[in-house]
């Protein structure tokens, strides 16, 4: 990346690199090939940092069109729980950590029935029930996708290491910050009340 490109990132490129947000898996799907920058000698695919940054911006801008109660973010995998709880506290966006309760988007008889206008998942594989339900009711899906993810039911792919706790924490930290800026919850250069560490599992 050129100096100019690194200066225009949402966060210092060293923070990105330190979190391992760009380190994929040894398996790559055709859906994710465009986001892969290279394959390391150990066989791990490396995602393009510029693509990651661009997609975080697009996701934050898209989410910024919705009020917090119109958004649902789901993470079956534990690495995303702390980050989502921090994001919920700051933004008011609805989150589900752990097992996704079947039917909450599709069964109006349920007390827990909810009607978000957009759904985001931490990983389309463990969170596939949420993706399926969103597709059934016709609402867009944003997904954090690693190099091994299928993306055929996803409306917006955000490429990243969606398994590492530092990577997932950084991802939701940036999304929360950019969402709050877009919704004018933060004034100008005002910083969020939470730090990056508040988003990362111990």
Which residue pairs from 50-53 have beta carbons closer than 8 angstroms and sit at least 24 positions apart in sequence? 50/1, 50/5, 51/159, 52/16, 52/21, 52/22, 52/158, 52/159, 52/160, 53/9, 53/10, 53/16
What pTM did the predictor assign?
Answer: 0.94
For the chain (202 residues), the mean pLDDT of every run of 10, in chain order, is: 69 96 95 95 96 97 98 97 98 97 94 96 97 97 97 96 97 97 88 94 87
Task: Tell me the C-alpha distance between 118 and 35, whole Å.
Answer: 23
Share of the chain above pLDDT 70, in %: 97
Q: Residue 57: give the domain boundaries.
A: 3-183
Domain count along the chain: 1
65-120 confidence digits (pLDDT tens): 999 999 999 999 999 999 999 999 999 999 999 999 989 999 999 999 999 999 99
73 within domain boundaries: yes
Which helix H or strand E contains 3, and what residues bound it?
A: helix 3-7
200 within domain boundaries: no
120: tokens are 């985001």
16 within domain boundaries: yes
107 within domain boundaries: yes
């Amino acid at each position: 990346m050129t100096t100019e490109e690194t200066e225009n990132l949402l966060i210092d490129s060293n923070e990105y690199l330190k979190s391992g947000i760009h380190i994929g898996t040894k398996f790559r799907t055709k859906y994710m090939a465009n986001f892969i920058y290279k394959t390391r000698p150990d066989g791990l695919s490396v995602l393009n940092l510029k693509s990651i940054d661009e997609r975080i911006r697009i996701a934050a801008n898209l989410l910024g069109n919705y009020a917090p109660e119109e958004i649902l973010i789901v993470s079956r995998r534990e690495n995303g729980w702390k980050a989502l709880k921090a994001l919920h506290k700051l933004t008011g966006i609805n989150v589900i950590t752990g097992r996704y309760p079947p039917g909450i988007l599709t069964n109006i008889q349920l007390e827990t029935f909810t009607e978000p206008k957009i759904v985001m998942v931490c990983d389309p594989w463990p969170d596939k029930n949420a993706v399926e339900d969103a597709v059934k009711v016709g609402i867009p899906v944003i997904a954090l996708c690693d190099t091994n993810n299928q993306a055929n039911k996803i409306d917006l792919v955000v490429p990243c290491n969606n398994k590492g706790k530092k990577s997932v924490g950084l991802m939701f930290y940036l999304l929360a910050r950019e969402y709050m800026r877009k919704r004018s919850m933060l004034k100008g250069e005002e910083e969020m009340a939470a730090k990056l560490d508040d988003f990362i599992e111990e």
